[in-house]
Amino acid sequence: MRGLLMLLGAVLLTVVAALVLVLPDSDLDGPRTGSRTAATTPGTPEATSPTPSTSVFSDPCGTFDTTTPTPYAVTGYWLVPTSDHCTWRSQLQAIHRVGGDTVVRLGFGLQPRAVDQDGRVLDAAGSAPDPRYAPCVENGMTCVQAAESALKAANPGNRITWTYVYRTDEAFGPGLFRCPQMEHTITIGKDVYYRVIAPDDGSDDPTCDFSTKGRGYHLILVEGAAQDSLTEILDLADRFAMKVYPALPVAPRDRLETTRADPRHIGTLTTLTRRILQDYGDRFQNRDSLGGVYQPFELQLRDWPDPSKVPTLRVYAEQHDIVQQELPGKQILVSPYLDARKGKNFTSTPEQVKQGFKALARTGVGIVAPQDSRGTGKVGLFWPGGRAQPVDERLRPVVGNVSYGDAYYGSTRDYYRAMAEALAELRTEGQDVQLWANVEAFEPAGDGACEAGGKRGVTDKERLDAAVAFAGPYVSKIISYKWSSFFTCGSPTLAEQVAQDWDRPIPIQAVPGSRGIQNGIEVRGYNLARGTVTLSWPGADEPRSVDSAAVGWSDTTPIPGLPASVQRLWVPVDWEAVPSGAWIRVDVTSEDGRRGNAPIYLNRGT
């Protein structure tokens, strides 16, 4: 036992020296809340979390269970819109069963379109009429012709200078329209369209004066739905005690630099955004299940020389300002991506990402959930002591058969730590921003079986556990892209793997701490209660293990600033047996003998 205690002590000191910890550890000394082994069941959600009003409900789609039997560390997921309304129910039920309390909806893009001489909206390539908008006819004219006719009737000098289309599975109310004399809903059989008209200077003039002088206007032709999917999913979220983040309209992309938003269309984009959010405000402002909105236009986090000149950030700022005006109190969620590859241009170090995080936060977002970018292979999961190791075989299609140190500027843990530092600095400036993690539930390459036309491969729970561990103590919530397809394809599906193995330990951090006169190590993570801590390092005769149920202490009380299900486990350590400078592996094994898939490492000598 003395050797084990010594090993544990060495590991703790190693971690502190090797890792820059953002969360304070000064509260580790002295007594803690809770007994040596807390009675709370491992993995139990925070007691103050919302709970469904009933444990079961039935409707024409079937009977659905609203209990949470297998709560995993990931608590939010992206969903793809679907036309099958029963699919919403089965998806939310499945997500809730594994502890999900947050749903982020993918959305649709605003697109400028050409119109032919017959007034027909052309497809994105401009080569043929778009069949989606062919049914839109009013008074024997196409909807474009009818809109222009109405404008010219008000003033012969009026004209349509741009035509835009936007498709959605939502049905809007009258809040979408600012000028009912010129804007309205067009219903043709089962097809529903909305005609929105705004001055082409981006002003969205509230006077609705179309007659005093002739001017140019933008027509936004929205293809909607007869049944509102957002109302439906919010109703379901109420049943499951979940939060929903519907997507804002996606900005048109620059034709030459498709990763950038096209600034020429900012005025029209903000007009459409304002109108949709006005409608949301009328219908959903007091709905608890509407957590906020999702900014779906992706960008890479980097250190921009002048953020004010970055088109995508300009789009963000414009859209986010409207959200704050129309939906006060609702959060804006954005999920940028990282790229740490040394062999590519325009990638970023952790310090550069730290500066980019600050610039992004200043556009008015409330939640930043950076993609861990392991799924795309742009960042790797490795500890400092493993830089010389070859990259995971699944990463080779992206970075080649090289070492982690040669492939990347840092690991996902390095980047989340840097962003957590930025978060702390922003809060001293009065900016209230949350840092979440978006762990990608796929692999860089595959046969595309999970997605029509996709190229990504399936992953497994072992790799997903590792991604959770590497996000570490730096985020307050973990969500994942995406439930649709990647969690529900293959055999067994990733969702089934999670449900079968949800309570396997996932340590995320180890910090030194004493209890009374005893030195020891506190391990933080998921499903740790009554676990056994094992320390090992190169040259050790054998691993050293300590059973916390026998000589340690567990606490499942939520830790401020961390996900609600993160727990603490403490065991005594005698540091004298641990060599200084060694990278020490720390594992946690559950009472039933399952060792965590993702160990953590400490090094007190660096």
Q: Is the pLDDT of residue 5 over 50?
A: no
SS3 state at 10: helix
At 32-66, the pLDDT tens digits run 333 333 333 333 333 345 778 788 999 899 999 99
pLDDT number for residue 19: 34
pLDDT at 577: 79
pLDDT for the residue numbered 255: 87
Q: What is the model's pLDDT at position 217?
A: 97
Q: What pLDDT sits at residue 477?
A: 98
Report pLDDT for 575.
75
If you ran DSSP here, which 8-state letter would residue 563 be given? -
- Residues ≥6 apart with Cβ < 8 Å to 412: 338, 372, 373, 374, 379, 380, 381, 467, 470, 471
pLDDT at 576: 79
Q: Among all chains, which residue has been given the structure tokens 């059973």? A: 547
In a domain, 106, yes or no: no
pLDDT, tens digit, 9 for 90 and up, residues 243-273: 999 999 999 998 888 888 998 999 999 999 9
Structural domain contains residue 208? no
116, part of any domain? no
Is 542 among the domain residues? Answer: yes
Radius of gyration of the chain (CA): 27
Answer whether residue 606 shows pLDDT above 70. Answer: no
CB 77 within 8 A of CB 100: yes
Query: Average pLDDT for residues 445-471, to the nearest whole number?
Result: 92
Q: What is the CATH number of the domain that holds 584?
A: 2.60.40.10
Q: Which residues contact 303 (CB under 8 A, 6 or more apart)?
A: 348, 351, 352, 353, 355, 356
Q: What is the pLDDT of residue 30?
A: 32
Domain count, the chain: 1
Query: Residue 24 has what pLDDT?
Result: 33
Mean pLDDT, residues 133-162: 97
Position 311 pLDDT exceeds 60: yes
CB of 489 within 8 A of CB of 452? no
Whether 564 is in a domain gets the answer yes
State the chain's mean pLDDT as an integer. 89
* E-state strands within 299-342: 331-334
User: Do you find a cis peptide bond into 477, omega within 30 degrees of 0?
Assistant: no
Which is more confidently placed, 134 or 19?
134
Lowest-pLDDT range of 127-136, 347-356, 536-545: 536-545
Q: Is the dihedral of CA 72, 75, 81, 82 positive or negative?
A: positive
Question: Is residue 585 assigned to a domain?
Answer: yes
Q: How confident is the model at residue 524 (pLDDT cuts 50, 70, 90)?
A: very high
pLDDT at 25: 34
**What pLDDT sits at residue 604?**
66
High-pLDDT (> 90) share of the chain, %: 77
User: For position 48, what pLDDT does the model report?
Assistant: 45
The pLDDT of residue 515:
85
Over residues 316-337, the mean pLDDT reads 94
Reply yes or no on whether the pLDDT at 377 is more than 90: yes
Answer yes or no: is 556 within a domain. yes
Under 8 Å between Cβ of 436 and 77:
no
Structural domain boundaries, residue 535 = 506-603
- Whether 235 shows a pLDDT value over 90: the answer reads yes
Domain contains 584:
yes
Give residue-wise pLDDT tens across range 178-218: 999 999 999 999 999 999 999 999 889 899 999 999 999 99
Convert the pLDDT of each residue in 72-116 to its tens digit: 999 999 998 888 889 989 999 999 999 999 999 998 999 999 999
pLDDT at 29: 31
470 pLDDT more than 60: yes
Lowest mean pLDDT among 19-23, 458-462, 569-573: 19-23
Q: Spell out the SS3 assignment of 481-503.
A: ECHHHHHCCCCCCHHHHHHHCCC
**Which residue in 480, 437, 443 sits closest to 459, CA to CA?**
443
